[in-house]
C-alpha cells in the first residue's frame, strides 16, 4: 500500500491520529483506516493553529524529553539541512536535547526503532513541513527508487536493513548538508 512519499507521510500521520484516539498505539487496522482517509481527502490533518495551541499548553516543557529548564528554540529540520526559520519548523526544547540532536534530522536523530515514539506535536509539524518541501520539489509521488540518488542516508538505511524500502529516512534524506 505505501509506495510513495505522500502515502508514507500520511501513514506516519495516521499513526499519530490513531495514537491520539482511544485505540492507542500500534493498532494497524486503525492506522490503515486513517491513512486511507487522509490519502482520499476524506479527513485532513490538524491546522497549524491547533498545533500552536497544543504547544502553548506546555510552553515551558521540552517537547522531546519533558525537561522544564533551559529551553531553546530548535529547528526540526536543521537549517544546515535546508530547514527554514519559520514557525512550522521550530519547537521548544531543552539545551540537552538541542545539543544532542545537533544538525541531525528528526528521524535520523531518534533512530528507526523510535520512529513511532516521537512527540505527536513535533512529529505532526515535521510531517506537514516535509510534505510542503516535497510538494515544492515535486517528489510527493516519488517512489524509493526515485529518491535513493538524492538521499545521503544510505549508511543509516544499511544499518537498519531498510535499503531499497520506503522508510521515514526517505522523507528527510534528500534534505541534507
Residue 14 located in a structural domain: yes
pLDDT given at position 10: 97
Residue 53 located in a structural domain: yes
Higher pLDDT, 59 or 14: 14
**Number of domains comprising the chain:** 1
The model's pLDDT over 134-167, given as tens digits with 9 standing for 90+, comes to 999 999 999 988 998 889 988 888 888 887 889 9
Residue 177 located in a structural domain: no
Domain that holds residue 155: 5-172
Q: Which residues contact 171 (CB under 8 A, 6 or more apart)?
A: 5, 8, 9, 12, 107, 127, 130, 134
Residue 123 has pLDDT above 80, yes or no: yes
pLDDT given at position 60: 87
The model's pLDDT over 21-71, given as tens digits with 9 standing for 90+, comes to 766 666 888 999 999 999 999 999 987 777 777 777 877 899 999 999 889
Name the pTM for this structure. Answer: 0.92
Residue 74 has pLDDT above 90, yes or no: yes
Grid cell locating 59: 510552553
Burial 39-76 (b: 16+ CB within 10 A, else e): beeeeebbeeeebeeebeeeeebbbbeebeeebeebbb
Residue 81 located in a structural domain: yes
Amino acid at each position: 500500500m505505501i509506495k510513495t512519499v505522500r502515502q508514507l507521510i500520511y501513514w506516519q500521520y495516521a499513526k499519530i491520529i490513531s495514537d491520539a484516539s482511544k485505540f492507542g498505539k500500534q493498532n494497524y487496522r486503525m492506522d490503515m483506516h486513517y491513512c486511507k482517509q487522509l490519502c482520499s481527502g476524506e479527513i485532513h490533518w490538524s491546522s497549524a493553529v491547533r498545533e500552536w495551541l497544543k504547544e502553548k499548553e506546555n510552553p515551558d516543557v521540552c517537547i522531546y524529553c519533558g525537561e522544564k529548564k533551559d529551553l531553546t528554540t530548535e529547528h526540526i529540520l536543521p537549517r544546515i539541512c535546508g530547514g527554514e526559520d519559520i514557525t512550522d519548523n521550530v519547537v521548544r526544547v531543552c539545551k540537552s536535547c538541542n545539543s544532542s540532536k545537533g544538525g541531525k534530522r528528526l528521524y535520523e536523530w531518534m533512530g528507526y526503532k523510535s520512529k513511532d515514539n516521537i512527540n505527536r506535536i513535533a512529529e505532526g509539524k515535521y510531517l506537514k513541513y516535509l510534505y510542503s518541501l516535497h510538494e515544492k520539489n515535486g517528489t510527493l509521488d516519488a517512489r524509493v527508487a526515485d529518491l535513493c540518488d538524492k538521499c545521503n542516508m544510505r549508511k543509516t538505511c544499511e544499518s537498519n536493513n531498510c535499503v531499497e524500502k520506503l522508510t521515514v529516512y526517505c522523507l528527510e534524506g534528500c534534505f541534507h548538508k
